[in-house]
Structure 1
Amino acid sequence: MTVPYPNYISPEGFAKLRAEYDHLLGTERPRIVEVVSWAAGNGDRSENGDYLYGRKRMREIDFQLKRLSKKMKDAKVVDARQQPDKNRVYFGATVTIADEDDNHRTVTIVGNDETDVDAGRIGWGSPISRALRGAAVGDLRRVLLLAGEKEYEVMAIAYPV
C-alpha cells in the first residue's frame, strides 16, 4: 500500500529510530546469537528451552531490524526550524486550536512514527493534521472524527527556534 504523503520525521525522531536499530544490531542480536550457540552445544535442541527461545527471539529481532531499516530508508527528515513559512501550519508546527465550545487544545504535528497523543504529538497523517495543513491563524477547519464532524479554529502557530 502506497502512502499518499511522504513519511516525514523530525531529526530527533530519526535519531531514536537509528538508536533502536543500532542497539538491536550491536547489542541484542549478538547476545542472542551467543545464547543460541551455547544452547545448541548442549545437545537435543527439541527440548532445549534456551535454544528454542533464542531462535524465536532472533527472528523477532531480525523482523524489527528489517522494519526499522525500511522506516529509515523511507523517511524524509524535516527540521521544523527550517520551515520557510512559519505563518501557516506545516510539519513540525505546534498549533493551538479551539473547537465550537471554545475548548482549546495544543498539538504538535510530528511524523507518524513519533505520535504520542497523550503528549499532544499527532501524526502527520492523522485527520486533524491533514485538516490543519496550510492553515493560518484565524482559519476554520472541519475534521471528520470517529465521534462525528468538528470544526476547529486555528488560534496560534509556533515552530521550534
Structure 2
Amino acid sequence: MSRYRPPRSAGTPLITAEGAQRLRDELHELWYVRRPAVTQAVSDAAALGDRSENAEYIYGKKMLREIDSRVRFLRKRLESLKVVAQQPSDCSKVYFSAWVSLEDEDGQALQLRIVGPDEIDTQRRHISIDSPMARALLGKSLDNEISLLAPVGEKHYWITAINYSEPTS
C-alpha cells in the first residue's frame, strides 16, 4: 500500500474584499520585508565560514524555504480566488459574506459571518462557506429554523438577524 494521499481540495474559491486584501498584504510583507531581511542574514552567516555547523545559516535557509513556499501558495491562491465585493440582490436571505445572528434552543445568542475558507477566524466569528453550519444557513431567511447534527446530538437554531455590514455589537 502506498503512502500517496491525493491533495485536499482548496475549498470554495470565494473570498471577501477584506480577506483578499489581507492575503495581498501578507504576500507583500513576506516578499518585500521578511525575505530580504532573511536573505541578508543568511548572506552574513555564510560569510562567517563553515556552513555545515553554522546554525544561523542553516536556520536562515530553512526560513527562506518556508517563506518561498508561502509566497508560492499565496500567489497561486490569489490568482484562483474570486473576490465577492457586492452585496446580493436579495439581502433578506443568507448568502456569502452575511453576518447571521442565531439563537439556539436554550436561548443562547450566536453571531457569525460566512466567509471563504482562506478567511476562517474563530476569534472574529468567521466560518467557512464549506462548513456544515454555513451550508445549513445558505439560502435561509429571517426566522427560519436550521438543524445540525453535533457530537452531543441534534442542535436547532433560529435565524434572528441577517446583515451584510459588520454589526456594531
* TM value normalised by structure 2: 0.85
Query: Which runs of structure 2 are paired with 1:7-156 in the superposition (5 Å)?
Result: 7-79=13-85, 81-156=86-161
Deviating beyond 3 angstroms after TM superposition, the runs of 4 or more aligned structure 1 residues are none
Q: Which runs of 5 or more residues in structure 1 are unaligned?
A: none
Distance 1:157 1:74, change over 3 A: same
Q: Which runs of 5 or more residues in structure 2 are unaligned?
A: 1-7
Report the CA distance between 1:103 and its aligned residue: 1.9
Report the CA distance between 1:61 and its aligned residue: 0.6
Please give the per-residue CA displacement for 1:29-61, whole angstroms capped at 9, x wherever unaligned. 111111212222222111112211111110111
Amino acid at match of 2:160: M
Report the CA distance between 1:105 and its aligned residue: 1.2
Aligned residue for 1:54, secondary structure, equals: helix
Alignment-derived partner of residue 9 in structure 2: 2
Distance (whole Å) between structure 1 residues aligned to residue 55 and residue 9 of structure 2: 41
Distance (whole Å) between structure 1 residues aligned to residue 159 and residue 34 of structure 2: 45
Aligned residue for 2:123, secondary structure, equals: helix
Distance (whole Å) between structure 1 residues aligned to residue 37 and residue 123 of structure 2: 34
Distance (whole Å) between structure 2 residues aligned to residue 40 and residue 117 of structure 1: 42
Q: CA RMSD in A?
A: 1.8
Distance (whole Å) between structure 2 residues aligned to residue 134 and residue 33 of structure 1: 49
Contact 1:127–1:145 (CA under 8 A) maintained in structure 2 = no
Contact 2:87–2:164 (CA under 8 A) maintained in structure 1 = no
Distance (whole Å) between structure 2 residues aligned to residue 2 and residue 53 of structure 1: 31
User: More helix per residue: 1 or 2?
Assistant: 1
Aligned residue for 1:152, secondary structure, equals: strand
Please give the per-residue CA displacement for 1:91-120, whole angstroms capped at 9, x wherever unaligned. 111111111222221111122222222332
Distance (whole Å) between structure 1 residues aligned to residue 59 and residue 38 of structure 2: 9
Identity of aligned residues (%): 40
Report the CA distance between 1:13 and its aligned residue: 0.7
Contact 1:14–1:77 (CA under 8 A) maintained in structure 2 = yes
